[in-house]
A and B are shown apart, each in its own frame.
Chain A
């Protein structure tokens, strides 16, 4: 086996040194009846070329060469080549969590840069070293708010990602708090009057997503005012991180929970992605996950360490702020490289391109359906309501190798034949025009609703 660096003669010599006659003696603690007497039922050992062929064959059975208008929490942006060059350096790829600071300063400094960038983008004071993803990060943010406030009421906008909401529900159910949903108004934003009625002295937090699942940018200052009036915390969940290049950061929030996949992380059929929690400084001690801090060594030189670990499970055990152990360090590194590549100017220019493409797409495709929530600010996603069910339209689009918008009926049946479309900097005018041509050949636009 080519990964195993020993000859049979070396194995035999080592067994002799240990003082046993055979390898099986080292497994004698396993009761005989439970020892596996057969080969595992796995494919036979393959040569490297066979492995590559196996996955190439699998890859070819997927949507290759299609134009895609899918977004909905997983976004296709260009990934600068240097990202993979850097994350494939063995010193980053094959290193462990940087507990031994003297020999992991590279990872630690990169995470410190990541934390700084996230603070800059979100307008928060502190950011952690990353969480599993945006959905679990949102759930952890809610638990954090419950700890901070000592209250157990949780209000979640119905315009937050439906799968995020499911995850929050799973996390919340045994914590003694129940998440209630707040609906949206005709503008696609959270219904502020419903929210005002729902927030009480028992409310730990209000969680909204912005841009929300329907692509709409929420009115964060207004929501914050309602939450803060009753001393509830405001959590803003951001699924499309690139939006921060041009959308006002949610500075009124107490906690920001973000998915950083858009910052140079491959779609990879859903993961690994990169959540991150940022917050106001006063909530530091309730922050879940790892944190990197600056300090000095015995010679006074600057260095970085994992810090405030007394919040964490390996010290606090059942009293920890979370059971989270790993973060997503390598994915956070991708995001850090991405943000270093684009920098101060580039992130705005990139976001502006996304905004421009989506406006063109909404204007163009909107002619063949009804653009919902048309007057409300949005970033790069929009909801299109059509006369035909989106699934039917999508079948016709697929014939032209176009993957159309995501049908919303499963989550928002009240929107009728609605689908969620996304355009990024990678979507070309030709692709948008081609999709519009297919829509044009479909029965024209619904007027109902």
Chain B
């Protein structure tokens, strides 16, 4: 079906086809040249005996130009922030500054070995110290660990801290309260820390029902995990009451910092009663998402939780030198080897330095401005399930479009034809058919207007030609993929075709790279 829509934003163009690297491989081609060996070549069989590898892994054999083209061609099949607006709600797809990448690759930073002497690592430790200090002031907390590798890992660490504190008082308690609007990582985290989950039903404004909360909290409650602003982009204006209710029963308030981009420089979780929280450096602090990682999920906490932080913690000696302190008898232990995703710390700090206090505040204001602008310009065509004021993201529902059997997922796919990455679909769970839109501060008014224009046109298409929307996208290299077959008969690796499978006997040499069994 022909594309009918705006052409202001996109024009179709050719992209190169590209097979898998294995399919392009030819024996004897090389993309590498090692320096000559300046020591005698070892006799691998003699040195390794039975432990020597007897077969060759089926890795591709390609020249350098083919490798560059291979991955460059693949890259052109991706949408990216660098190409346009990426309004994935709750993901904070903001611009990833290039100076961040540059400084993270400086010699002395990129090549630093984690076990090199601390005296020869002072510059690295100073980077960590300054980032920690900035994040502490941004959050209003007292102590921090940068060790967790991602947001969910930070949640895990934060709940371990809460648990360790309760245990130190004689009882780890049993339950964690989680609103039904929460990210799926929250209940998964609580379960992995040995807690039972109690789901909290959101109130009519999509927020926490404080009265209902007060009835549920008791001496079994270890903590509540709360996202603020919530996943519908609404600030919990009774946050201090929530904290009071929890604290009155000895329970802690954990804040999921996924939506911190709405708060930086405007308000501080530590001030409004949060005891422990994580940040996502890959969201709020501009480190690249990289197609799904690496992330970084620092955990900040109040003083009373400090003794439980993962080992090691950064410390400063009387001589002014920074060092890692491993002598932490009450620590929850390590959650990751070494010190965390240091490369992300460098990038996050570069972002903070580029902004300064004024830039950080302006960033937050622009993020909130952009979300409210979209809300205003779309609220007459898309249903707004919660009319509460939006912060950095706005959540609509597909209620009006569903009448024509057009669902949020269809509208999202149709957005692709208009040159945008889809918003987050079907989340949060409290909004049936949710369209969760987070523009971030990185969008110009021009880009926002194009997005608004696209969304309005799609709303009209849903009325006039729903089939056009439900069969979208129409302009991509491939159309919708058969996910059912992918899951029922998983093909998770490539196999060389036309080679017979032979089950190895006990005395056969071990063969790797033997071809497929049928799934």
Identify the interface centre among B30, B188, B194: most chain A CB within 10 Å of its CB: B188
CA distance A380 to B126 in the complex (A): 32
CB-based contact B295/A326 at 8 Å: yes
Q: Cβ of A31: which chain B residues have Cβ within 8 Å of it? A: 237, 239-240, 272
CB-based contact A268/B110 at 8 Å: yes
Indicate whether A269 sits within 8 Å of B358 (C-beta atoms), given known contacts A281-B517, A323-B188: no
Indicate whether A318 sits within 8 Å of B120 (C-beta atoms), given known contacts A45-B358, A120-B513, A269-B109: no
Chain A residue at minimal CB-CB distance from B350: A51
Among candidates A95, A244, A266, residue contacting B57 with C-beta atoms closer than 8 Å: A244
User: Does A389 sit at the interface, judged by CB under 8 A?
Assistant: no
CB-based contact A271/B340 at 8 Å: yes
CB-based contact B485/A295 at 8 Å: yes
CB-based contact A59/B51 at 8 Å: no
CB-based contact A170/B332 at 8 Å: yes
Interface residues of B in 182-241 (CB under 8 A from A): 183-185, 187-194, 197, 234-235, 237, 239-240
Q: Cβ of A56: which chain B residues have Cβ within 8 Å of it? A: 103, 106
Tell me the count of chain A residues lying within 8 A, CB to CB, of chain B.
Answer: 200
User: Does B58 sit at the interface, judged by CB under 8 A?
Assistant: yes
Indicate whether A326 sits within 8 Å of B120 (C-beta atoms), given known contacts A346-B30, A356-B39: no
Q: Cβ of B375: which chain A residues have Cβ within 8 Å of it? A: 18
Q: Cβ of B447: which chain A residues have Cβ within 8 Å of it? A: 5
Indicate whether A90 sits within 8 Å of B81 (C-beta atoms), given known contacts A30-B267, A248-B52: yes
- One digit per residue, 1 when the CB lies within 8 angstroms of any chain B CB and 0 when it does not, for chain A 311-348 equals 01111111110111111111101000101111111111
CA distance A23 to B367 in the complex (A): 11
CB-based contact B39/A136 at 8 Å: no
User: Does B124 sit at the interface, judged by CB under 8 A?
Assistant: yes
Identify the interface centre among B190, B443, B483, B486: most chain A CB within 10 Å of its CB: B486
CA distance A207 to B95 in the complex (A): 42
CB-based contact A26/B124 at 8 Å: no
Nearest-neighbour CB distance to chain B for A299, whole angstroms, equals 6
Indicate whether A360 sits within 8 Å of B101 (C-beta atoms), given known contacts A29-B391, A105-B78, A403-B117: no
Indicate whether A34 sits within 8 Å of B337 (C-beta atoms), given known contacts A112-B20, A291-B490, A406-B115: no
CB-based contact A123/B512 at 8 Å: yes
Interface of B is mostly: loop
Q: Cβ of B462: which chain A residues have Cβ within 8 Å of it? A: none
Q: Cβ of B388: which chain A residues have Cβ within 8 Å of it? A: 29
CB-based contact B21/A11 at 8 Å: no
Indicate whether A72 sits within 8 Å of B235 (C-beta atoms), given known contacts A26-B372, A330-B291: no
Q: Cβ of A316: which chain B residues have Cβ within 8 Å of it? A: 184, 188
CB-based contact B75/A86 at 8 Å: yes
CB-based contact A91/B57 at 8 Å: no
CA distance A104 to B88 in the complex (A): 14
CB-based contact A18/B376 at 8 Å: yes
Interface residues of B in 343-394 (CB under 8 A from A): 343-344, 346, 350, 352-363, 365-366, 368-369, 372-373, 375-377, 388-389, 391
- One digit per residue, 1 when the CB lies within 8 angstroms of any chain A CB and 0 when it does not, for chain B 46-80 equals 01111111101111111010011011111111111
User: Does A448 sit at the interface, judged by CB under 8 A?
Assistant: no
Q: Cβ of A297: which chain B residues have Cβ within 8 Å of it? A: 478-482
CB-based contact A106/B74 at 8 Å: yes
CB-based contact B354/A62 at 8 Å: no
Nearest-neighbour CB distance to chain B for A69, whole angstroms, equals 10
Q: Cβ of A346: which chain B residues have Cβ within 8 Å of it? A: 30-32, 34
CB-based contact A305/B481 at 8 Å: yes
CB-based contact A112/B494 at 8 Å: yes
User: Does B330 sit at the interface, judged by CB under 8 A?
Assistant: no
User: Does A92 sit at the interface, judged by CB under 8 A?
Assistant: yes
Interface residues of A in 69-97 (CB under 8 A from B): 70, 72-74, 76, 80, 82, 84-97
User: Does B298 sit at the interface, judged by CB under 8 A?
Assistant: no
A selection of 28 A-B contacts at a CB cut-off of 8 Å is A14-B445, A15-B369, A26-B369, A31-B237, A36-B267, A46-B356, A59-B123, A96-B88, A96-B292, A97-B289, A104-B291, A106-B76, A111-B291, A125-B517, A126-B493, A170-B335, A247-B48, A249-B510, A270-B339, A271-B343, A299-B478, A307-B490, A315-B184, A323-B155, A329-B293, A330-B291, A340-B71, A377-B47
